[in-house]
Structure 1
Amino acid sequence: METKFFSLEEIAKNDGKDGNKTWILIKNNVYDVTDYLDGHPGGGELITEWAGKDCTKAFDDAGHSGDAKKELKQYKIGELREEDRKQKKPAVPTTSSNPKEDRRSFCSYLTCGLCA
């Protein structure tokens, strides 16, 4: 089966309003969850809040079970087109000639808890 690709604009139009379908984006995968809203254990409004948007973080933060993730697969209709996928974050800027040293110092500062 050939994968369909959708733009962010197409996904945004499917926001569940005015008779539109309810699509969500999770990890660059597009899901049509229109028929699942009534069956969602947490209530359909938790999904419609993210309709037409990327809800990857919210989905992950909710701690969905493995069964929930498996069930989601049946609603997949395609993927986000490559040109709309987020660019990789730039590397942490460095100030010394040894980038590993700068990164280690910065991370130690963040995790120490005593530095303020």
Structure 2
Amino acid sequence: METTLYSLDEVSKNDGKGGNRVWIIIKDAVYDVTDFIDEHPGGGDLIQEWAGKDGTKDFDDAGHSGDAKKDLKKYKIGELREEDRKQKQAKAGAKTENPELQNRSFCSVISCGLFG
């Protein structure tokens, strides 16, 4: 079975607005979670916040159970195109214009008094 590939643009149009479906990206996989919103234990608003976007970080930070991750598989409709994965990674790598600040370790932030 061939995997359907989607662009970031296609995913962004499925933001749940105007009768559109609700798609989210988790670890470069695209999920149609429209039918799951009302069943989500944390409430549909948490999913809606990431409609049409990449929700990987919040999904991981929420500490979803193994069962939740397994259940997510039934909503998978495809994957993000390779070009858009690279584009996403480039944006993530461009967090700051100053590479010295970007590479500063947590320890050096604490030792120079910028923390707390």
Q: TM-score range by the shorter chain?
A: 0.7 to 0.9
Percent identity over the alignment is 67
Larger displacement relative to structure 2 (80-89 or 33-42): 80-89
C-alpha distance in 2 between matches for 1:47 and 1:28: 16
- CA distance in structure 1 between the partners assigned to 2:59 and 2:24 by the alignment: 10
Shift of residue 45 of structure 1?
Answer: 1.1
RMSD (Å) for aligned C-alpha atoms: 2.0
Quick one: which amino acid aligns to residue 35 of structure 1?
D
Match of 2:111 in 1: 114
Show CA shifts across 1:39-87 (max 9, x none): 1001111101110000111111111111111110110000000000134
User: Hey, what does 1:83 align to over in structure 2?
Assistant: 83
CA–CA distance in structure 2, aligned partners of residues 115 and 17 of structure 1? 46
Gapped runs of 5+ residues in structure 1? Answer: 95-102
Q: Size of the alignment, in residue pairs?
A: 102
Match of 2:28 in 1: 28
Structure 2, unmatched stretches of 5+, are none
Moved over 4 A (4+): none
What amino acid maps onto 1:21 in structure 2?
Answer: R
**C-alpha distance in 1 between matches for 2:89 and 2:59:** 21
SS at match of 1:2: coil
- Aligned to 1:18, the other structure's residue is in SS state helix
Q: 1:1-116 to 2 correspondence within 5 Å?
A: 1-85=1-85, 86-87=88-89, 89=93, 107=105, 110-111=106-107, 113-116=110-113
> Any idea what the Cα deviations from partners look like across 1:25-51, whole Å, max 9, x if unmatched?
011000000110111001111101110
- Structure index of larger Rg: 1
Q: Kindly provide the amino acid, as one letter, of the partner of residue 40 in structure 1.
A: H
Report the alpha carbon displacement of residue 115 of structure 1 after superposing the two structures with TM. 3.6
Distance verdict in 2 for CA 1:62–1:2, change over 3 Å: same
Provide the C-alpha distance between the structure 1 equivalents of 2:4 and 2:59, rounded to a whole number of angstroms. 22
How far, CA to CA, are the matches of 2:89 and 2:62 in structure 1? Answer: 25
Higher helix share: 2
Q: With structure 2 as the length reference, what TM-score do the two structures score?
A: 0.78
